[in-house]
A and B are shown apart, each in its own frame.
Chain A
Amino acid sequence: MVDKSGRRSFIKGLGAAGITALAMPVMAQTNTESAANIKWDKTADVVIIGSGFAALAASIKAKQLGATDVEIFEKMPYFGGNSAINGGLFAAPNTPLQAKEGVKDSIDTMVADQLKSGRGIADEPLLRHIASHAAEALQMTIDAGAEYHPYLQQLGGHSVARTYQTTVSCGAGITQPLLKYSQKLGVKTNNRAKFIGFVQDDNGKVIGVKLLTGHHFEDPNSGKVTYVKANKGVLMATGGFAQNIKLRMAQDPTLTNEVGCTNIPGTTGEAMLEMFRLGATPVHLAHIQSGPWASPDEGGFGYVSNYSIFNFPHSIAVNLQTGRRFMNEIADRKTRADAELRCRDEAGKPQPPIMITSYEDAMEHPTCKKVLKYKVGWKFDSIADIAKHYGIPAAELQKQVDEYNQYVRTGEDKQFGKAMAMAHGKELRAPFTVVRLWPKVHYCQGGVQINTNAEVVDSLTGQPIPGLYAAGEVAGGIHGVSRLGSCSIPECLVMGMTAANTLMNA
């Protein structure tokens, strides 16, 4: 299990700095090294790899629990990972806003919603642990300076409105305050520091990491080999692998490089793979989620994603061929992404469907202005204009709108059984806004198996790997087949805090 290939002495022999890093590609074996012949460059209490929600929450908690040196190592030139570009949507049960809006909710209800979307293979103890501490995590972000819209949203697959959103409609509204707070508490944050392997002691305990410092992402092997000792433990908070096309296609060959992706470039998964080499249990790697609210008219998550998420409850999604709806606009993500992928022209080529929203309702959310301004969404005066512009059968489209407005009035969607509570009083009426929809690879449900202490479970023994912890998207199996929107933020924050707790009490 432990590599003693003597590569280090080779590196030493080479001497000249700068060339060392280029020697990396020859490595094929595990990158794990034994402690015996290591010269540590640095020592810390807690070593955290990654700088998103999970990492930041853990660093703050570790400091609060009295850790002296906490070091964050991030391979990218900037901090925050996917968390810094995320939609800022945060689900939690039993919150102050739910009390204010009179929403009846419970930990059980949130877990039940998630289990349903998980289609029987989600991890109930973990979901329960997270839901139980979600409101606490929310408060932690508010204490650090995060600000939220004064209303809740009801996202696809959630049976009630329980989702907060930052006022900037972005996860940066959380990562920026957390990063500053973390640095204020004395956490040392290092960018351009790529994790490439573990160091174990003779008993198999993880006691440190091997990094490439001064790393430039464009050149995967760049940087200086640096060894950091971790007195209390190593937390892997390295996110998903949606940008690793080879790896995602190995799991799901349909996710080719032609499928867009919402993630930062750094979600390439090598840290997860290194944990597997160490013995971590792989779970649900093939369950890779595509976001049904994304737009083919902009890169990544862009503006349309948040726009659609907000508007889906009181909008219709329409197939251009038929002029008809083709899905429950607030079904879970997988249901919707699969339905969108079936929207094709006569030749079978992708034909992105459109979402139609009343302009007045869309303007309730700040992203509407952005969508129009940056020409990734358009305003129309009538249904006839929309039909003409997109080549939709006009009579069919008008009929569909009339039928749907009937569902709004009666509160019952006879076509797809959509929950109509949030659409109450919001009939489709001119003028309209329209965006185009096409799924993008978004989230990895799979990763390393962890328990409710955020310990990484060994695949052979079923026991925690000593000294090793994981939290956030890199942990797998929690959500099962399809994660519900806004459930990653609570997961990352709660499990980050949990990891710090376990690690500081180990």
Chain B
Amino acid sequence: MNKLTLVLAIMLSGSLAFSAQARDQRDYHEMVYDSGCKTCHDQGIKNMPSDQACSQCHDIDELAVTTARQGDEEWQNPHNNLHYGKEVPCTECHGEHTPKQVLCSNCHTFEYPKHK
């Protein structure tokens, strides 16, 4: 049984790699691709990047200023929101190789037209 699991595991990781290639890369990240997968995949190529990976280039405080909202929408700032403040890992809303819905859409109909 153990051997079977191992085979399954290898098959599974293979398919993960395939799905990564299958998706159009986000062009504004082109230079990151040029520097190699490890630039983001800091925990091994087959694993999700760590929650710190994006902060090599992006600063949450700056992002929070960029996406700040006014008045009764103050707390709908995706980078500083009512429920979790600034502590939602980037990959909860942003997918590099698979498009993602924003986390808020679980319960709310907010619009983020610039979300990628």
Contact = CB atoms under 8 A, between A and B. Distances in A.
Contact of A78 (B43, B50, B89): B89
Contact of B87 (A79, A301, A303): A79
Q: Which of B9, B47, B48 has the most CB of A within 10 A?
A: B9
Interface stretch (B29-37, B53-61, B102-110): B102-110
Contacts of B108: 298-299, 302-303, 374
A14 interface: yes
A79 B106 contact: no
A85 B44 CA distance: 34
A216 interface: yes
A369 interface: yes
A80 B50 CA distance: 20
B83 interface: yes
A373 B51 CA distance: 34
Contacts of B107: 85, 298-302
B106 A84 contact: no
B2 A23 contact: yes
A366 B72 contact: yes
- In this complex, the interface size class of chain B, counting residues with CB under 8 Å from chain A, is 20 to 34
| Interface of B (DSSP majority class) | loop
A22 B92 contact: no
Given A77-B89, A78-B87, A84-B83, A216 B105 contact: no
Interface string A223-237: 000000000000000
A26 B2 contact: yes
Contact of A168 (B6, B51, B82, B105): B82
Contacts of B43: 214
Contacts of A119: none
A369 B1 contact: no
Given A14-B6, A22-B12, A23-B6, A78 B84 contact: yes
| Interface of A (DSSP majority class) | loop
A290 to B, nearest CB: 16
Interface residues of A, number: 37
B84 A84 contact: yes
B39 to A, nearest CB: 19
Given A303-B108, A374-B110, A80 B9 contact: no
A18 B109 contact: no
B47 to A, nearest CB: 6
Contact of A299 (B6, B9, B51, B106): B106
Interface of A: 10, 14, 17-19, 22-23, 25-26, 77-80, 84-85, 168, 170, 172, 176, 191-192, 214, 216, 264-265, 298-303, 366, 369-370, 374-376
Lowest 9 A-B CB distances belong to which pairs?
Answer: A300-B107, A22-B9, A77-B89, A172-B83, A78-B84, A299-B107, A84-B83, A374-B109, A302-B107
22 contacts: A14-B6, A18-B44, A19-B10, A22-B8, A22-B13, A23-B5, A23-B9, A25-B5, A26-B5, A77-B51, A77-B91, A78-B83, A79-B84, A85-B107, A170-B83, A192-B51, A214-B47, A298-B108, A300-B106, A301-B107, A374-B110, A375-B109
Given A19-B13, A216-B48, 15 more contacts: A17-B44, A18-B46, A19-B9, A22-B5, A23-B6, A78-B83, A85-B83, A168-B75, A264-B106, A265-B106, A299-B106, A300-B106, A302-B108, A370-B72, A376-B109
